[in-house]
Amino acid sequence: MADHLDAPTPLEEHRKLAVFAGEWSGEEVVYPSRWTAGGPASSHVSARIALNGFYLIQDSVQTREGKESFAAHGVFTYDREERTYKLFWHDSLGYYPPSPASGGWVNRSLILVRGSLRGNARHVYEVVDDNTYNMKIQFSPDAEGWADVLTGVYRRIH
């Protein structure tokens, strides 16, 4: 067929997300906020490359004092038209973001920012090595002064 279009294939930018694929155990610090009291937490993160290599799908469950305290579902991809990474984030707080977080890599950190009427959130995923990454979620009313909401160190479960 002369008019047949080949399906797109993942780019190197999509493949770069595979660094976060796998099963992870996290040690976290939750900072006091309007949603919760601060304190230590642990979390289990399960992430996989899916849908022909275009997406990283991540599910995490946080535990505090022996009980599930927070859960999140993240879908990461690279938007080849906008030339930026996207994060579609859903969590157990129940807020639905009006748009995905957007951003890119700065050295070994994937930095994604999204805004809403409640303020701005920034997710920073720093690759330490093949078996460790650091993550922080920050909040800012004006996207300039950032305050930590959650920080964590995640180690690959073998």
pLDDT in tens, 26-84: 999 999 977 788 999 999 999 999 999 999 999 999 999 999 999 999 999 999 999 99
Residues 89, 91, 130, 101, Cα dihedral to 10°: 20
Q: What is the pTM of this model?
A: 0.91
Q: Would the pLDDT of 4 be above 90?
A: no
CB 25 within 8 A of CB 155: yes
pLDDT tens for residues 89-130?
A: 999 988 777 789 999 999 999 999 998 777 889 999 999 999
Quick one: pLDDT at residue 6? Answer: 77
Enumerate domains of the chain plus CATH numbers: 16-156 (2.40.128.20)
Structure tokens of 139? 């909040």
